[in-house]
Structure 1
Amino acid sequence: MTERPNDLSSFPSYQASRRSLFSARKFALMASVVAGLGVAAYGFGPSHGPTDIFTTPAHAQVNNEVRKVEKPAGFADIVERVKPSVISVKVNINEKVASKDDNSNEDSPFQPGSPMERFFRRFGGPDGLPPGMRGAPRGGHAVTGQGSGFFISADGYAVTNNHVVDGADKVEVTTDDGKVYKAKVIGTDARTDLALIKVEGGSDFPFAKLSDGKPRIGDWVLAVGNPFGLGGTVTAGIVSARGRDIGNGPYDDFIQIDAPVNKGNSGGPAFNTEGEVMGVNTAIYSPSGGSVGIAFSIPASTVKNVIAQLKDKGTVSRGWIGVQIQPVTADIADSLGLKKAEGALVAEPQANGPAAKAGIESGDVITAVNGETVKDARELARTIGGLPPGNAVKLNVLHKGQDKVVDLTLGQLPNSVEAKADTDNDNGDKGSVNRGTNVPKLGLTLAPANSVAGAGKDGVVVTEVDPQSAAAERGFKEGDVILEVAGKSVTNAGDVRQAIDAARTDNKNSVLMRVKSGGSSRFVAVPLAKG
């Protein structure tokens, strides 16, 4: 037998393993003889005795050579292909623009007090906007801002964020190879925070393709941009969630990613592993102002629609049906007899709007548009807003428990929709209020609206709310006017009681009320006390 390798013989574990090996061979040989089988398959030669596996050429090669380790899969090939399409965007905002009233842009989602501003005041920077989303400071000083973008065509059209170029007096871009070009803003859309710019001085720019597919949760994503003004930087992560609503507006449908995104990444692309743009990075969730692994991207499908209109006419026109809508909660679904909490509940159709003209009423539930199911109120807003004005659409509507199809022609969404101030809802002199009749099982005290100064003529006004009641939990407050209960108009507390008793008889767990508060109406499902 060949001598054992010196570098192994001194180890007890080696000796023990050899003893175990030969014991196993001995057992295998005995079993083979009993069974009448040949023993060559067990590594024993027919005439040479047991063969030492450590000395056979094949095994010696495996054990004495260093195995080659395969490289882990990386993104270098993708990055090499797509990175040249990404640009750094630098803007200068002159003093005149910087000092304008921040409230002058009515469409801006970042106005003081807006949901977006409050969101980022809590989780973003000190001025209420996230890194890369801060506009001109109050006080009239000239400012310089930086962001990111990417080419979508060889002739220099590029996409970035509206908040990156909003109010810009001068726009410059730096390409991946370090060349600097002037650019002009073609059009912006504050509602989706997208902008289209045209880079001048070239006709053969490398460009990226917007993805046709929808990303899946868990897909890889590469964020490329200009964080902190450092220039082309690549970070990687996954798609963490889809359909995120961050309070930006009715068209929120963000992709959430965990690829690090920081100040200056705004407007940059999020690529999939095919090298296509799945989204435009626009916001982050951050207590510190830096990346904590939560960023939001505008989906490519939205980008395609908006950018096509900006390129064609510089603005975006959206379809409009003229309704105030709200989600269908589980309580509301139960009140309406729906099997699922889906669709969009019409709180109030706007007078002379397309929906009102087509016969849609308060309390109707829109369940589908052109045969496509509407999951919730936000989806209805996005679907209608994604269609051009003048289009004919078919709406599936649940009207008083019956399904029907409504045909209507879309109007154009106004640039700013003003809330109607209904001064009749002001209670005015509290001394003239009729304290009303108590409805104890709801925790409300009600009075006919026409008996309370400033409450209007229709419905019953809430004159008192038990703070421990279900009604208080649902947001009822003094001065609210209840117009309908369970689909029926009410004029006094007796009407309310009668509608509640009917709902109990029908074994309803809650009763649906249409409530007018301030200048708008909403539906509220109030749970019914048993007994």
Structure 2
Amino acid sequence: MRSRMQLSSLWMLLMIAALVCQPALARDLPDFTGLVKEAAPGVVNISTSQTVERGGPSFHGRGFGGPEMPDIFREFFGDRFPFPQGDGQGYSEERKSLGSGFVIDEAGYIMTNAHVVDGADEVLVRFSDRRELEAEVVGVDIKTDIAVLKVDADDLPALVLGNSDDLEVGEWVAAIGSPFGFDHSVTAGIVSAINRTLPQDAYVPFIQTDVAINPGNSGGPLFNLDGEVVGINSQIFTRSGGFMGLSFSIPINVAMDVADQLRDGGSVSRGWLGVMIQPVSRDLAESFGMKEPEGALVSDMDPEGPAARDGLEAGDIILEVNGKRVDSSETLPRLIGGIDPGEKVELTVMRDGERESLTITLGSWPGAEQGAGSKGSAEDSAPARLGIKVQALDEQVLRDLKIEGGVRVTEVGRDGAAARAGIRRGDVLVNIAMQPVKNPEQLVELIGELPEGQSVPVRLYREGRSYYVALRLDDN
């Protein structure tokens, strides 16, 4: 009996201790209410629309003549496959999307993700006070997934920008955005990792968090506890299509460097070495006389590129760029891309088992000048017949897509043949009429040879997938 009473007393003491400690534990958790009140007016909802003209055979759900594709196909496939509809002669399809953004300048400049506004015919920005303004796309950078918009308004509530280099793993962060269209939703978590490299995103040292991010959050701000923007919510890792605890944000320092260039000139310039690289495995490190695997192994070079010109050799392992360690091959493009063309860089390389220093004057990415839209360039004149502008592809994109050539579409006119075929900004054209497209200059020749009034197949890559669209040039 006494033992039972003692256990009962002990249990009561523990319960009392828990109740006493609970307020203390609550005081240790972050309070985001002040942050949200201060920052929410500077966070915006972004909605876009795009009219796509499609052609080809009909596909109907209720026999050959039903009104539309069956819902079961949309449920399983979404828009991954271009199921055509209509009478077989082509049809118009309006696509809408939602995203988030935030004010970076009270003069009307807004930052978001490039994929939020990519290919949009109309971009609308809605503020917390329910104002809705049409936005102009100042510029986009596909490599970092950054876009800058401009609205005609003054005295906007610009957010305070922080220093993403000061972030530490375990630090509390919060996001405000519009997941699934629910405006100004707030979620919070911690920084899970920093300097993450994701496939096909070599230029961004992502911030990984466990903040709940879902479709519609893209382009919204990530805050530290001081209410400063430290990142832009960009991607999630998911097997279900929804949040699974792995969210990735672009550091604000990276984003603002890109945004400043977009505001100043409408495009982004990056340094270029002109090399092909590969990871250094443990076995390769041993074969090169290294104690630990590190750096980027130069497997090949552009014979006319900056690296070949200034003495870098195939087989060199790049260990440092201007004193910054290259811990893996994924780090090198980020370091080089952050330096302006024409700048000299000091490379520390491993060659024949010895460390050496080289000075390389960086070049510009091939096609960079064309990407800026210089008058009379192949980008402007050649594809004008299609109603598009294009630029050459860099070596990294060619390797990622495993193709030998192609051009990226940087602009699509609303009423051109390309728009009617369903070609979008950001698409990579690899062949037209079964002829390979290697560069903008060759595209000029191919377009000049296309017949009028006749459909020809165009193969393109979009979001890493390849498929064909039918292109038809109308009779003049």
- With the shorter chain as reference, the TM-score category is 0.5 to 0.7
SS of residue matched to 1:394:
strand
Counterpart amino acid of residue 136 in structure 2: K
1:82 to 26, 39, 43: 39
Corresponding residue of 2:141: 189
1:147 matched to 2:99: yes
Partner amino acid, structure 1, of 2:325? T
Deviations 1:75-101, CA, capped at 9 Å, x for gaps: 1111111111110001111235xx59x
Displacement of 1:248: 2.5
Q: Which amino acid aligns with 1:243?
A: N
Residue 135 (structure 1) shift: 12
Instruction: Give the corresponding residue for 2:360.
Output: 408
Letter in 1 for 2:261: Q
Q: Write the deviation string for residues 4-54 of structure 1: whole angstroms up to 9, x where unpaired.
A: xxxxxxxx969x99xxxxxxxxxxxxxxxxxxxxxxxxxxxxxxxxxxxxx
Return closer, same or farther for 1:135/1:322 CA change in 2, 3 Å cut-off: farther
- 1:199/1:356 CA distance change after superposition, 3 Å: same
Spell out, residue by residue over 1:169-212, the C-alpha distance to the aligned partner (whole angstroms, 9 max, x if none).
11111112222112110000011111001122233333231435
Decide which of 283, 289, 293 is 2:241's aligned counterpart: 289
Taking the aligned partners of 1:208 and 1:356, their CA distance within structure 2 comes to 44
Q: Does 1:235 align with 2:187?
A: yes
Q: Quote how far apart the aligned CAs of 1:244 are.
A: 2.4
Q: Distance in 2 between matches of 1:267 and 1:95?
A: 24
Contact 1:397 1:404 in 2 (8 A): yes
Residue number in structure 2 paired with 1:377: 329
Conserved? CA contact 1:254–1:299, under 8 Å: yes
- Report the 3-state secondary structure (helix = DSSP H, G, I; strand = E; otherwise coil) of the residue aligned with 1:337: coil
Aligned to 2:171: 219
Provide closer, same or farther for how the CA distance between residues 343 and 13 of structure 1 changes in structure 2, counting only shifts above 3 A: same
C-alpha distance in 2, partners of 1:336/1:327? Answer: 13
Of residues 262, 271, 277, the one that matches 2:214 is 262
2:255 is the alignment partner of 1:278: no
- Whether the aligned pair in 2 keeps the contact of 1:222 and 1:235 (CA below 8 Å) is yes
Deviation at 1:369, TM superposition (A): 1.1
Question: 2:120 matched to 1:168?
Answer: yes
Q: How does 1:332-411 map to 2 (within 5 A)?
A: 332-411=284-363
Which stretch shows the higher mean deviation, 151-160 or 73-82? 73-82
The answer to whether the 8 Å contact 2:164/2:251 transfers is no
Shift of 1:375: 1.2
TM-superposed deviation, 1:232? 0.8
Q: CA deviation at 1:329?
A: 1.2
Q: Which amino acid aligns with 2:120?
A: A
Provide closer, same or farther for how the CA distance between residues 337 and 171 of structure 1 changes in structure 2, counting only shifts above 3 A.
same
Measured after TM superposition, the shift of residue 383 of structure 1 is: 0.3
Cα separation, partners in 2 of 1:67 and 1:193, compared to 1, 3 Å = closer
For these two proteins, the number of residue pairs brought into alignment is: 336
Q: Is the 1:210–1:304 contact (alpha carbons within 8 Å) kept by the matching residues of 2? A: no
What is the CA distance between 1:245 and its match in structure 2? 2.7
SS of the residue aligned with 1:209? coil
Q: What amino acid is the match of 1:370?
A: N
Alignment match, 2:394: 417
Q: Cα–Cα, structure 1 residues 203 and 260, in superposed 2: closer, same or farther, change >3 Å?
A: same
Does the Cα contact within 8 Å between 1:155 and 1:205 map onto a contact in 2? no
SS in 1 for 2:156: coil
CA RMSD, 1 decimal? 3.2
Give the SS at the match of 2:227.
coil
Map 1:106-121 → 2, pairs under 5 A: none
Q: Which runs of 5+ in 2 are unaligned?
A: 10-15, 56-75, 86-90, 368-392, 405-476
Per-residue deviation, 1:409: 0.8
Amino acid aligned to 1:91:
T
Note if 1:317 corresponds to 2:269.
Answer: yes
How far apart are the structure 2 equivalents of 1:368 and 1:93?
45
Instruction: Supply the distance in 1 between the matched residues of 2:146 and 2:262 (Cα, whole angstroms).
Output: 9
Following superposition, the deviation at residue 417 of structure 1 comes to 2.7
Counterparts of 1:123-142 in structure 2, within 5 Å, are 126=77, 140-142=92-94
Q: Aligned to 1:245, what secondary structure does the other structure show? A: strand
Q: The residue matched to 1:142 in structure 2 has which SS?
A: strand
Q: The residue matched to 1:213 in structure 2 has which SS? A: helix
**1:144 CA drift (Å):** 1.3
Aligned to 1:4: none
Q: 1:93–1:136: 8 Å Cα contact kept in structure 2?
A: no
Paired letter, 1:292: M
- 1:208, 1:135 → 2: CA distance? 42
2:189 & 2:84 partners in 1: Cα distance?
Answer: 33
Structure 1: how far apart are the matches of 2:287 and 2:322? 26
Query: What TM-score does the superposition give when structure 2 sets the normalisation length?
Result: 0.65
Aligned to 1:224, what secondary structure does the other structure show? strand
Letter of the aligned partner of 1:94 in structure 2?
A: T
CA distance in 2, matches of 1:257, 1:407: 38
Q: Is there any run of 5+ residues in structure 1 with no aligned partner, and where?
A: 1-11, 18-61, 101-124, 423-531
Classify the secondary structure of the residue corresponding to 1:302. Answer: helix
Which of the pair is proportionally richer in strand? 2
Q: How does 1:47-86 map to 2 (within 5 A)?
A: 69=23, 72=27, 73=29, 74-86=31-43
* Identical amino acids, percent of aligned pairs: 41
Corresponding residue of 1:8? none
Structure 1 runs of 4+ with >6 Å offset: 134-139
Q: Helix, strand or coil for the counterpart of 1:234? A: strand
In 1: Cα distance, 2:82 partner to 2:40 partner: 27
| TM-score where L is the length of structure 1 | 0.58
Residue equivalent to 2:258: 306
Are the equivalent residues in 1 in contact too, given 2:108–2:154 (CA < 8 A)? yes
